[in-house]
Each structure stands twice: as structure tokens, then as C-alpha cells.
Copies of this chain bind each other. A is one copy, B any other.
Amino acid sequence: MTISEENYIKVIYHLSLVSPKGVNTNAIAGMLDTKASSVTDMMKKLSDKDLVSYQKYQGVTLTDKGLHSAKMIVRKHRLWEVFLVDKLGFSWDEVHEIAEELEHIKSEQLINKLDAFLGFPVADPHGDPIPDAKGVIKKIEKQLLSEVEINASFHCVGVKDSSTDFLKYLDKQKIALGSVVKVIDKEDFDDTLTVEIDGKRLTISNKIANNLYVQ
């Protein structure tokens, strides 16, 4: 598999979590910052290699083979992110780009040894689950902070949006994975929340609460 093919497979994987019936050509093009016609070309190639099942105009889905490949790429991406944060001291908003490159390094032995070196982590720095060597993903129970009952305590366990902007906002507010959160009050008009994070009062918009997973 070339790097380009791997990037397509990974994007199809992420999109098919939202649209399991079939992923649109345009959606893929949007994610990869390329043109729909290029996507069509690549779908034929991936279909020939039995990585996706594709019929014209109907969108694509991953085959078993394609799904497994995708999980291995995601596994590598997330393990490298853990390495970069835990071992090299990068912050969680700096690692995605580098992991985009590292995820294409080929050796299976490498990634399994890395996994062991990191202590077999189950989640990456953004709270996303790490597939094991067989591709099994341990589901992490979580809810969006926006959908949680008032006056109960939770732990931050992940982010939905992992853009630099959002992560830096969380840093500024001293919100990290592991922080204890309690919703004190919810404004009816715009769903703004008053929360207590690690004991400190804070007002956060619905947009924030909608991108923070708690458990």
C-alpha cells in the first residue's frame, strides 16, 4: 500500500463511522483536500485491490481487508501520538501532524514494540481508543458534557474536536483529560453551562460542552 492509498483508506474509515451505508466521493475529497475526480480514480484502484467495495454513484464501504488496514493505520497514528506526548513531551495540540507522517512507517514489529514500550495504552492523548494488534477496539464509555445531568460529577475523557484552537482553549482553562467536572447550572436560552472543573467555577458555551467527552 502506498502512502496515498493508506490516506484514502483511513479517511474512508473515519467517514464510515458516521455514514456506514456508504461514503460519498465528495466527502472523501473534502477530507483529503483533493478533487472528486481523483477520488473516483483511487476508488477503482482500491476496489481492484479488494480494499473497498465500490459501485458507481453509490459511495464506498471498506471490505474486511480494508477495515483491518484502516484500523492498523489508526493504531499507528494513535500510538505515535502517545509516544510524542508521554515520552517526548509534546503538547496534545502539536502531535497530530507528525503522527500523520509516522502512521505510514511500515514495520509491524516496530509498532508492537512501541505499544509495549508505552505500556499498552488504551487511548491516545485526545481520548480516542487505540486498536490492539488484532484490530480490536475497546469501546470507551463516554457522553458529551452537553448531554449530562446536572449536579453529577464526571471525568473528562476525550475531545470530539481536536483542533489546535479547541485544545489550546482547554489548556487555557486548565481543562485536561482526567479533570473532574460537575455541571452546576444550564441556561435554558442558549444552553450555556456553569460548571465546576477541579473545584473552579467556569462558564462555558454549548459549543464547548458539545466537544468535550466525560464519563
Contacts and interface: CB of A to CB of B under 8 A. Distances in A.
Contacts of A101: 105-107
State the copy count for this chain. Answer: 2
Given A98-B107, A105-B102, A117 B84 contact: no
Contacts of A106: 101
Interface stretch (A87-95, A123-131, A201-209): A87-95
18 contacts: A84-B110, A87-B117, A88-B110, A88-B113, A88-B114, A88-B117, A89-B113, A90-B109, A90-B113, A94-B109, A97-B107, A98-B105, A98-B107, A98-B110, A101-B105, A101-B106, A101-B107, A102-B105
A185 B13 CA distance: 65
Nearest to A88: B113
Interface residues of A, number: 18
Nearest to A94: B109
A150 to B, nearest CB: 43
Contacts of A88: 110, 113-114, 117
A167 B143 CA distance: 53
Q: Of A109, A110, A114, which is in contact with the most chain B CB atoms at under 10 Å from its CB?
A: A110
A89 to B, nearest CB: 6
Interface in A170-211: none
A97 B105 CA distance: 11
A73 to B, nearest CB: 15
A4 to B, nearest CB: 13
Contacts of A84: 110
A101 B90 CA distance: 22
A127 B97 CA distance: 32
